[in-house]
Amino acid sequence: MFHTAANTAADTPADTASSAPAKDGATRLRLFCFHHAGGSAWSFAGWGHRLGRGVEVVPVSLPRRPAAGAVGTMDALVSEVAERLAPTLDQPYAFYGHSMGALIAYGVAQRQLAAGRRPPDRFVAGAHRAPHLPSTPDLTGELSDGAAVELLLGLNGVGRLVRENPRRMRAVADRLRDDLLLCGTYRHPVAGRRPLPCPVHVLYGTGDPLVSAAEAAAWRAHAAARFSLHALPGGHFFHREHKDLFFRELARALAVDVS
């Protein structure tokens, strides 16, 4: 269901069964990472090295459509992810979600609260408007291959190796469409949601065409404890454009030392 990159030498995702690997003595916090639309667990390769031994990075691999039994709505996807992650969320942990991943991470955190289970110790959202705000109307998932590719290229959402490989680029475009269709099914509940009881930290790019400062700041409504908002230079994928700045800010949000 999900992959891990637990500060190994290669620091790349590896398949697991139903739980993350046991934490070593130096690890103080598990960081579950939820990827953007069109992305994958590999989006977080190398994060363990950046954040150091105090953090165990656990990239979450989402169920894919249209495989048999795959989920077709955001609510169903979040429910499945929450159910499978629940056994691993019994020790100190944090969530980081980027773009679509922030919405999924928020949904999983809410299900932890509703079930009376341990909530995240820290919640970090990147490049996504607050969940109660309406989604971007022109990102419906009804995109041609060319439009999907242009969107990804325009947002700096794919690396050079993917851009130069037409088959990989087509596969990423397919994933993007599927994910955007899922996002289009999201409906924020009018009741039953509680502000998160942990510190909530929100990051956004000053040049992001999809998320404004006000839309990022609106996450404050979902924080019952400390809330912070931080602007980073760059666009929707600021975490790739300015890696040193991003990881310093993420480490600060997680209250870990990466020096």
| Rounded (5°) CA angle 232-43-180 | 85
pLDDT value at 17 more than 50: no
Q: For the whole model, what pTM was predicted?
A: 0.84
DSSP-assigned beta bridge partners for residue 11: none
Reported as a single tens digit per residue, the pLDDT across 148-189 is: 666 666 666 555 556 666 777 777 777 888 888 888 889 998
Check residue 158 and give its pLDDT: 59
Parse the chain into domains and list their residue ranges: 3-134+190-254
Query: Which tokens sit at 98?
Result: 């980027």
Phi, then psi, of 12 in degrees rounded to 5? -125, 155
Reported as a single tens digit per residue, the pLDDT across 113-127 is: 999 999 999 999 999
- DSSP symbol at 86: G
Distance CA 39, CA 35 (A): 6
Instruction: Pick one of 3.30.70.890, 3.40.50.1820, 1.10.3720.10, 1.20.120.430 as the CATH number of 3-134+190-254.
Output: 3.40.50.1820
Average pLDDT over residues 142-147: 64
